[in-house]
């Protein structure tokens, strides 16, 4: 999943970016609402972690702007404002969840994963594709009774393809979903990632799960 963190605290941005990337997410981070809206206008994000109290354009203004969009990412408000009216206002403006600072990272991660499941209309934390099962809450994959030992990026790639089963995805589109906008890598890294993932799936008995269509991309059928 691709996440945009919007918070004027450098410490919060750094902590969230490091933590979420360790779970295979692609994370971009900005310090105020103006930069957030610019990013959201140019790139596609699955989730936004949004502070309310920021300079220039605050979180409320961001919510007001996004409310009029036909398609927008799921939004988790992360704020020091802890009054009921603050939560009500944010939720009425289109926020999908609200978490008060200070917060536990594990809880924030669980809430984001839950929002991610809602984004693809999958209420259950488990995704199944033949003998393959993905536990999206624990970010764990297994083939029958064999647990797959995957890196965060390998897991993220596998979950992305399974969630979009039947949909052909180009290397460039996959790269955009798995890596940050300022990543020094190029989309050729997807070929390397795909190779290591296929090797691990093959060892577990799944040799033909991911189909390559030369010149077009990859698909799970």
- Please state the three-class secondary structure of 188-214 as a single string: CHHHHHHHHHHHHHHHCCCCCCEEEEC
In the predicted structure, residue 118 carries a pLDDT above the cut 80:
no
pLDDT of residue 119 exceeding 70: no
Statement: residue 55 has pLDDT above 90: no
Check whether 70 has a pLDDT greater than 70.
yes
Question: How far, rounded to the nearest angstrom, does the alpha carbon of residue 146 sit from its chain's CA centroid?
Answer: 26
- Segments in the chain forming alpha helices (H): 10-21, 33-42, 59-67, 84-92, 105-119, 152-163, 171-178, 189-203
Q: Report in angstroms the alpha-carbon separations of 77 from 11, 82, 183.
A: 17, 11, 26
Report pTM.
Answer: 0.74
* 27, 40, 147, 203 from 99: Cα distances, Å: 19, 21, 33, 41
Alpha carbon separation from 73 to 130, 154, 197, 217 (Å, rounded): 30, 23, 28, 25
**For the residues 110-133, what does the mean pLDDT come to?**
80
The pLDDT of residue 110 is above 90: yes
pLDDT-derived band of residue 184, with 50, 70 and 90 as boundaries? confident
The residue among 58, 108, 56 whose CA lies nearest residue 78 is 108
Task: Quote the percentage of the chain above a pLDDT of 90.
Answer: 72
- Overall average pLDDT of the 179-189 stretch: 85
pLDDT category at 120 given cuts 50, 70, 90 is low
Mean pLDDT of the 81-110 span: 95
């Amino acid at each position: 999943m691709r996440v945009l963190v919007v918070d004027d605290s450098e410490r919060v941005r750094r902590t969230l970016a490091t933590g979420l990337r360790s779970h295979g997410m692609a994370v971009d981070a900005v310090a105020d609402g103006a930069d957030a809206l610019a990013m959201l206008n140019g790139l596609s994000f699955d989730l936004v972690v949004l502070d309310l109290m920021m300079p220039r354009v605050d979180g409320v203004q961001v919510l007001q702007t996004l409310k009029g969009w036909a398609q927008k990412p799921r939004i988790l408000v992360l704020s020091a404002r802890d009054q009921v009216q603050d939560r009500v206002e944010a939720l009425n403006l289109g926020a999908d969840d609200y978490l008060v600072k200070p917060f536990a990272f594990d809880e924030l991660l669980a809430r984001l994963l839950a929002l991610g499941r809602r984004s693809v209309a999958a209420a259950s934390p488990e995704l199944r594709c033949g003998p393959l099962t993905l536990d999206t809450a624990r970010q764990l994959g297994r083939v029958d009774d064999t647990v797959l030992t995957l890196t965060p990026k390998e897991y993220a790639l596998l979950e992305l393809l399974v969630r979009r089963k039947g949909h052909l995805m180009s290397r460039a589109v996959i790269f955009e979903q798995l890596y940050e906008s300022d990543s020094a890598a190029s989309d050729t890294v997807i070929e390397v990632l795909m190779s290591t993932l296929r090797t691990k799936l093959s060892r577990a008995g799944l040799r033909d799960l991911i189909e390559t269509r030369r010149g077009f991309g990859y698909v799970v059928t």
